[in-house]
Amino acid sequence: MKPIRVFSLLDLDNPVQPAPLSDYILQFLAQGDSWFSFGALPMWQTSNLFDGMGTSQIAACAVNCAAPGARLSVMANSTTATPFLQLLSGNRARRWAGLLLSGGGNDLIAAVQQAPENRPEMRLLATAPEWIDAPGGERYLSNAGWLTFSTHIIAVMANLLAVRDSGINRGLPIVMHTYDIAVPRDSGAGFGFGPWLYPAMQAYAIPPAAWPAVAAALLDRLWTLLDHIAANTVDGSIHVVHSQGTLTPAQTSDTGASADWQNEIHPTRAGYQKLSALWLPLLDAVFASRIQGAPG
């Protein structure tokens, strides 16, 4: 495997020794959340999906604009994501090989955290009187809220594609990923960050025995939504790494690092390496022409 070399925006703008992008045949732009940046404090407690990500035989790098807590809804916002947008379609744009994107997880968490007092269409969880006779975690979800959420994510992705297509990176391939099952539990990232799902389960009085099933139902729906967006993108430029079901889940009673999870929603270093290994065959397939045409 040829690991992807990751450069930060600071590396790119280093006046003495800027990131040597021209040394790499595949030059990616990356945007995303904590799964592309860091998900624990101190930061060295865990890593991210770039730990172990690569192609089979070609030198590749990525300029990473990701930040913890970032949502898809702000990744193409001209106020909050200016450096990324400049590199994608603005005055600093270059023709990238592809966009590596980690997004949707924080949007889901934000929607899960909406209070029970909100209208059903404004939250993803159902209150006790709304629970229905449905299998697994579906019993505890608000279908009206999911319709609102999915409509929002589809619109956000359409906006991102419009921004991409407004400049020299029109039609740029985008590679995204699904999220493995983060079990709700009282395990934050340190320094007061998190937990995220656990308080919501308590606020809605969902039985602890059902928490893993509720998380699985939500993340299954997100997987289906991302696949739907990819399948309905006319130019076929969105590709999804299907990684759900790869990691050993934690237990609802675990309060620290457990199995493949450093905290409630972030994998351990070994967990990320299991997930990042799944990117290699898809990257090889999407960028096959560039790989096959590269010098040995």
CA pseudo-torsion sign 201, 202, 205, 206: positive
Tokens of 233: 């993108």
Alpha-carbon Rg for the chain, nearest whole angstrom, is: 19
Tokens of 173: 């391939």
User: How far, in Å, CA of 85 to CA of 160, rounded?
Assistant: 10
212, 280 Cβ separation under 8 angstroms: no
The answer to whether the bond into 195 is cis (omega within 30° of 0) is yes
Q: Is 259 left (phi over 0), alpha (psi -120 to 50) or beta?
A: left
What is the distance between the terminal CA atoms of the chain, rounded to a whole angstrom? 14
**Total number of domains constituting the chain:** 1
164, 99 Cβ separation under 8 angstroms: yes
Number of CB atoms found within 10 A of residue 114's CB = 18
Q: Is 45 helix (H, G, I), strand (E, B) or coil?
A: helix
Tokens of 65: 């604009």
The whole-number pLDDT of residue 39 equals: 87
Q: At what angle do helices 105-112 and 143-164 cross, to 10 degrees?
A: 150
CATH of the domain at 222: 3.40.50.1110
Please give the sequence-ordered ranges of beta strands (E in DSSP) within 159-251, or none if there are none: 174-177, 238-241
Range of the domain at 254: 2-292
Q: Report the chain's mean pLDDT, rounded to a whole number.
A: 94
Q: Give the helix/strand (H/E) hosting 6.
A: strand 2-8
The 10s digit of each residue's pLDDT in 64-78 is: 999 999 999 888 776
**Residues sharing a CB contact under 8 Å with residue 34, sequence separation 6 or more, in sequence order:** 48, 66, 67, 68, 69, 70, 106, 265, 266
**DSSP assignment of 60-117, as one string?**
EEEEE---TT--HHHHT-TTT-HHHHHHHTSTT----SEEEEE-SHHHHHHHHTS-TT
pLDDT along the chain (296 residues), means of 10: 96 96 96 93 84 94 96 81 93 97 97 98 98 96 98 96 96 98 96 95 98 98 98 97 97 96 97 98 88 50
The whole-number pLDDT of residue 129 equals: 98
Name the pTM for this structure: 0.95
The 10s digit of each residue's pLDDT in 283-293 is: 999 998 765 55
The whole-number pLDDT of residue 77 equals: 79
Tokens of 136: 């697994």
State the burial class of residue 41 (Cβ atoms within 10 Å of its Cβ: 0-12, 13-18, 19+).
middle
Phi, psi of 240 (to 5 degrees): -120, 125
In the β-sheet with 98-102, what is the strand arrangement from edge to edge?
Answer: 54-55, 2-8, 60-64, 26-32, 98-102, 174-177, 238-241
